[in-house]
Amino acid sequence: MGAKELTSDSLNEQQVLMLRLLKKPLPAADFAQIRQLDETVEDWEDKQNITKQSYERLSKEHFRSTSRKH
């Protein structure tokens, strides 16, 4: 069984961007900013009592607005 070559046709945009990131890592300063943002979000989640279950529940909710007919 041969390995299939990965092409941009077989990957979605996010997967391609992740591969590019791994190929050419972010500069240390950019990576530090991302880590700081991640810590800020985690602190906010803790203060708001937001858990993994909160995100799972929200992912199953319906967020579409009703259409407005004029």
Q: Return the structure tokens found at 56.
A: 């799972």
pLDDT confidence of 1, banded at 50, 70, 90? Answer: very low
Cα 31 from chain centre: 15
Domain-by-domain residue ranges, the chain?
26-60
Pick from 11-20, 42-51, 56-65: least confident: 56-65
- Burial of 45 (C-beta count, 10 Å sphere; 0-12/13-18/19+): middle
